[in-house]
Structure 1
């Protein structure tokens, strides 16, 4: 007879959506109305908050105030495409960032929400 006890710990299960496309279109503001209202009415605060959430410097979007093509919006969109494996071109990103800036930030916000990795413990018991 054995006096050993076997204990199995719950293992985390990573659930992630794999896609090479944006989860929503640039003009899909109805998908998240509160976010889009915040992005439209207080664009600079919204852009700074989303940049910080994405892991970059909080005040980085304020550099977009200079020039015609917004360099930070463009670079954040390209960075997000690369991080999430979304297909696209820098030319398209440049056009979107220049002419649809608030909508682009709302789209990136929705994408961060959709792609956040949720961790579910399988077999865990509540104490």
Structure 2
């Protein structure tokens, strides 16, 4: 019998920064944190959606398919351990689309330890 100790469960920690799991790392309207991303997200949300889907490892067209960004947000929440529901994902993207898209891009960048573009 092995006495190996598990010090880190798969899927927890290990992000580029010390981010509190269970929550988004920025607020919905924190666009001042990354103006270039927010400019693209507000002027051409489809381009930012395609870029994020591709960066996340999905087909780039996912950003333009109806419901694609909801699926991406849901998968992102599960990957990063952020609390929420699929219904909330759909409602946030429907009512606050560009702002939520920008927050998702910031979250992906922060969790991967990337600096502002």
TM-score normalised to structure 1 length: 0.71
Bigger RCO of structures 1 and 2 (CA < 8 A, at least 6 apart): 1
Q: Deviations over 1:82-115 (max 9, x none)?
A: 0000111222112101111111110110001110
Please tell me whether residue 17 in structure 1 is matched to residue 18 in structure 2.
yes
Q: Secondary structure at the match of 1:59?
A: helix
Residue in structure 2 matched with residue 109 of structure 1 by the alignment: 105
Gaps of 5+ in 1: 1-13, 65-70, 119-127
Q: Deviations over 1:56-85 (max 9, x none)?
A: 001112212xxxxxx111111110000000
CA radius of gyration, larger in: 1
* Conserved? CA contact 1:73–1:101, under 8 Å: no
* Conserved? CA contact 1:97–1:104, under 8 Å: yes
Please tell me whether residue 34 in structure 1 is matched to residue 58 in structure 2.
no
CA drift at 1:17: 2.3
71-80 vs 14-23, which moves further: 14-23
Gaps of 5+ in 2: 1-13
Q: How does 1:47-126 map to 2 (within 5 A)?
A: 47-64=49-66, 71-117=67-113
CA drift at 1:117: 4.7
What is the alpha-carbon distance in structure 1 between the residues aligned to residue 89 and residue 56 of structure 2?
A: 18
TM-score normalised to structure 2 length: 0.77
Give the superposed CA RMSD.
1.7
